[in-house]
Amino acid sequence: MNRFSKPRIAMTLTATITSLGQKGEGVVEIDGRKVFVPLALPGETIAFVAEGDRGTLVDILAAAPARIVPFCPHFGACGGCQLQHLDRPSYEAFKTALIETPLRFAGIETGVSRFIDASGNGRRRATMHARQEGSGYMRLRSHQVHDLDACPILVPALARAPDIARAAMLAIGEADIAFTATLSGLDVAVRTPKKQARAERLMPLVARFRLARLALNGDMVLQTQPPIVEMGRARVEVPVGSFLQATAAAETILADYVAEAVGKAESVADLFCGVGPFALRLAETRPVLALDNDKPGILALDKARRFTKNLREITAKARDLFREPLTRYELDTFDAVVLDPPRAGAQAQAEQLSMSKVKTIVMAACDPKTFARDAAILVGGGYTMENLVAVDQFVHSTHIELAAIFRR
């Protein structure tokens, strides 16, 4: 702006919200372009300010019947949840559409057969940010942190997570702190861009908050006892940074779904197996090949196998299934294959599976779009998809887990 320019004044507009976008924002059209307004719902007449394709809610002039009162006092400022203001039928319809729409675009006309609430006792995993302005989750549409006193969507064991995050910042400065509630206590992993961060300054947090383990930038600082989680009969020591489902309920629900889908298959491959939530349960009745590129996770799985009685053999190996997927010839030795890839999906592995003779494939996923892509590959190879389920562990957010069975 030069000295002759007049300051730009944002005008308040009035319009009716037509739909919800994929991020849970109300969509309104202005002069043929879409504007996305957080916290607004379809059917509502609102006053808002628009800047490009982003809108800011000023007032709700006529509320939608689907609007309910959020249960958390931080909702609307904290960006951790996006959908606490939406009633249950509309909420489930929105999340179901997140799954069905990408499948339809991929040429698969299959509906969700069940919507499963997998919130359980709350999330056992969370990542908070510690900055000068506070400790908690990022604000809505912001890189600033909303300061939290408590988060009601977490398990009770994580009640002091905001306090731990503040203490970490006081010790080493701005940081991101990942929390996992385990049977043996809290597992806390701190990350900071500061190269000179001194690990010893974090050590008092272990005694103060009775932590099971504390790590800094991927390296263990101090451990009073290994962080343990149960997986079927097994107990697994979770490595720093290894993947776990956000809720224990979701893990159990998905594991039960996998076991039922696999049925009496005598030989099973568990691909993208992580620390073994499926493999360790499946091995109670049959031998399993378990593969993942997470080497510490594979070692933890193998250790759990060795210390768990009455398990069948688990062959656990580190393998990058993105660059080196199991070939169709390797796959043909298995009756069933289970895969639970990360957000990027399993395109290379799906291509090999589509050419294989495997009778049953069970795929879980955390990204509906990459799932739809991979499902289309399998269907194109002659598989039929059935029993598509939505597993809602990230409640009140726009994330959704899903799983389906593919049969020859």
Domain boundary among 162, 192, 226: 226
In a domain, 236, yes or no: no
196 or 388: which carries more pLDDT confidence?
388
**Same domain membership, residue 143 and residue 114:** no
Q: What is the pLDDT of residue 182?
A: 98
- Write the DSSP assignment of 25-59 as a string of letters: -EEEEETTEEEEETT--TT-EEEEEEETTEEEEEE
* d(C-alpha 364, C-alpha 86), whole Å: 26
Mean pLDDT over the full length of the chain: 95
**Same domain membership, residue 139 and residue 115:** no
* d(C-alpha 140, C-alpha 17), whole Å: 19
**Same domain membership, residue 359 and residue 221:** no
- Asked if 22 contacts 11 with a C-beta cutoff of 8 angstroms, the reply is no
User: What domain range is 179 assigned to?
Assistant: 125-226
Question: Which CATH number is 188's domain given?
Answer: 2.40.50.1070
* d(C-alpha 299, C-alpha 238), whole Å: 10
**Same domain membership, residue 325 and residue 308:** yes
Q: At 222, list the tokens.
A: 């101090």
In a domain, 107, yes or no: yes
Q: Summarize pLDDT for 84-108 with one digit per residue, the tens.
A: 999 999 999 999 999 999 999 999 9
**Same domain membership, residue 326 and residue 391:** yes
6 or 250: which carries more pLDDT confidence?
250
Position 297 confidence tier, pLDDT thresholds 50, 70, 90: very high
* d(C-alpha 44, C-alpha 66), whole Å: 10
pTM, entire model? 0.94
Active site residue 81: no
Which has the closest alpha carbon to 98: 37, 39, 24? 24
> If residue 303 lies in a helix (H) or strand (E), which one and from where to where?
helix 295-306
**Same domain membership, residue 201 and residue 347:** no
* d(C-alpha 363, C-alpha 388), whole Å: 10
* d(C-alpha 17, C-alpha 13), whole Å: 12
For the chain, the first-to-last Cα distance in angstroms comes to: 65
How much is the average pLDDT of 19-42? 95
Question: Which CATH number is 46's domain given?
Answer: 2.40.50.140
Q: Summarize pLDDT for 154-203 with one digit per residue, the tens.
A: 999 999 999 999 999 999 999 999 999 999 999 999 999 988 889 999 99
* d(C-alpha 57, C-alpha 46), whole Å: 7
In a domain, 73, yes or no: no
Please state, as a whole number, how many other Cβ atoms lie within 10 Å of the Cβ of residue 70: 16
Q: At what angle do helices 347-354 and 368-380 cross, to 10 degrees?
A: 20
In a domain, 2, yes or no: no
In a domain, 336, yes or no: yes
- Asked if 16 contacts 37 with a C-beta cutoff of 8 angstroms, the reply is no
* d(C-alpha 258, C-alpha 364), whole Å: 9
Question: Which CATH number is 249's domain given?
Answer: 3.40.50.150
DSSP 398: S
* Cβ partners under 8 Å of residue 5, min gap 6: none
Q: How many helices (H) and strands (E) does the chain have?
A: 9, 22
Position 2 confidence tier, pLDDT thresholds 50, 70, 90: very low
**Same domain membership, residue 368 and residue 314:** yes
Q: What is the pLDDT of residue 8?
A: 52
DSSP 335: S
Domain boundary among 177, 195, 226: 226
Q: What is the pLDDT of residue 194?
A: 85
Split into its structural domains, the chain has a count of 3
**Same domain membership, residue 272 and residue 402:** yes
In this predicted structure, the answer to whether residue 7 has a pLDDT above a threshold of 80 is no
- Asked if 168 contacts 131 with a C-beta cutoff of 8 angstroms, the reply is no
In a domain, 77, yes or no: no
H helical segments located in 79-146: 88-105
**Same domain membership, residue 334 and residue 282:** yes
* d(C-alpha 100, C-alpha 98), whole Å: 6
How much is the average pLDDT of 203-229? 97
**Same domain membership, residue 109 and residue 137:** no
**Same domain membership, residue 186 and residue 47:** no
**Same domain membership, residue 374 and residue 333:** yes
How much is the average pLDDT of 371-380? 98
In a domain, 264, yes or no: yes
Q: At what angle do helices 368-380 and 88-105 cross, to 10 degrees?
A: 40
In this predicted structure, the answer to whether residue 399 has a pLDDT above a threshold of 50 is yes
Cα within 13 Å of Cα(94), Cβ side? 27
Q: Summarize pLDDT for 257-284 with one digit per residue, the tens.
A: 999 999 999 999 999 999 999 999 999 9
In a domain, 325, yes or no: yes
